[in-house]
């Protein structure tokens, strides 16, 4: 009875704040992971150059540029951009469709507003934040012609309060018992189309996790 009572109180409190508790359990349900960029932002191998710009304040504001200075086409697909979190089983490819990913989290965020005291203010802030990312250019996966460069936004499906996907939940379960800051690597594989040669560009980063749900509504627009 004591366990059930504890869980019931916790459920009511969290539901009032952000409606994040979905199961009757005393285990912490709030969980978020963000990528902290490392010092290396640009790598070059031969005539191929890869640059990444990772934001530690947003899972959406990440950009990549690939410069093909060679004489043959190269290719980069979502499976070629991976986040490998050391000491865990987490190896995440970039999401296939950036704008669908933003829309999924945008819709979920608007649903949370219905449970808040200032619903219309909440929706206004959610709209202002997410709509800008619906307008940005996604990284155009596929072939890059010789002497061309492509740039765009990309993302990994990491857990946050507005992500209810099964993949995100599995990542949260795998990382929940890890350290708050864990070393990781973003690997970009660039494939030379004609020769079939693979070039790997490894960017050291850290993944920072948190299960602190205090002031969630105040932090959510700043960080996500």
- Over the stretch 109-125, which tens digit does the pLDDT of each residue have? 888 787 777 788 888 88
The residue to which tokens 């004489």 are assigned: 71
Nearest to 17 by CA among 124, 163, 122, 117: 117
CA distance 135 to 128: 12
| Contact present, 36 and 58 (Cβ < 8 Å) | no
Q: What pLDDT, on the 0 to 100 scale, is given for residue 215? A: 52
Q: Which fold has domain 31-96+138-223?
A: Immunoglobulin-like (2.60.40)
10-residue mean pLDDT profile of the chain (224 residues): values are 39 32 43 90 96 90 96 96 92 95 90 78 86 94 96 94 88 85 95 93 94 59 50
By CB atoms closer than 10 A (0-12, 13-18, 19+), residue 195 is exposed
Residues 6+ apart with CB under 8 A from 69: 47, 48, 49, 147
- The string of pLDDT tens digits covering residues 41-55 is 999 999 999 999 998
Residue 47 CA, chain-centre distance (Å), reads: 29
Q: What pLDDT, on the 0 to 100 scale, is given for residue 2? A: 39
> Does residue 37 sit in helix, strand or coil?
coil
Q: What pLDDT, on the 0 to 100 scale, is given for residue 88? A: 87
Model pTM? 0.80
**Secondary structure of 90-140 in the HEC alphabet?**
CEEEECCCHHHHHHHHHHHHHHHHCCCCCHHHHHHHHHHHHHHHHCCCECC
Q: What pLDDT, on the 0 to 100 scale, is given for residue 126? A: 86
């Amino acid at each position: 009875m004591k366990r059930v009572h504890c869980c019931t109180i916790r459920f009511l409190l969290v539901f009032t704040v952000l409606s994040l508790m979905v199961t009757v359990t005393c285990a912490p349900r709030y969980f978020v992971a963000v990528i902290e960029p490392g010092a290396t932002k640009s790598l070059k191998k031969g005539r191929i150059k890869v640059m990444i710009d990772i934001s530690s304040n947003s899972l959406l504001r990440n950009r990549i540029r690939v410069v093909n200075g060679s004489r043959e086409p190269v290719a980069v697909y979502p499976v070629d951009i991976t986040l490998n979190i050391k000491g865990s089983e987490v190896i995440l490819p970039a999401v296939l469709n950036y704008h669908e990913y933003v829309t999924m989290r945008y819709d979920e965020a608007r649903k949370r507003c219905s449970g808040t005291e200032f619903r219309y203010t909440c929706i206004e802030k959610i709209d202002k934040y997410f709509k800008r990312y619906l307008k940005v250019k996604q990284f155009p996966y596929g072939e890059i012609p010789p002497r061309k460069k492509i740039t765009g936004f990309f993302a990994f499906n990491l857990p946050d309060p507005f992500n209810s996907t099964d993949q995100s939940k599995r990542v949260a379960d795998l990382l929940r018992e890890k350290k708050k800051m864990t070393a990781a690597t973003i690997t970009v594989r660039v494939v030379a189309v004609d020769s079939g040669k693979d070039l790997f560009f490894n960017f050291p980063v850290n993944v920072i996790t948190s299960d602190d749900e205090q002031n969630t509504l105040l932090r959510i627009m700043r960080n996500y």
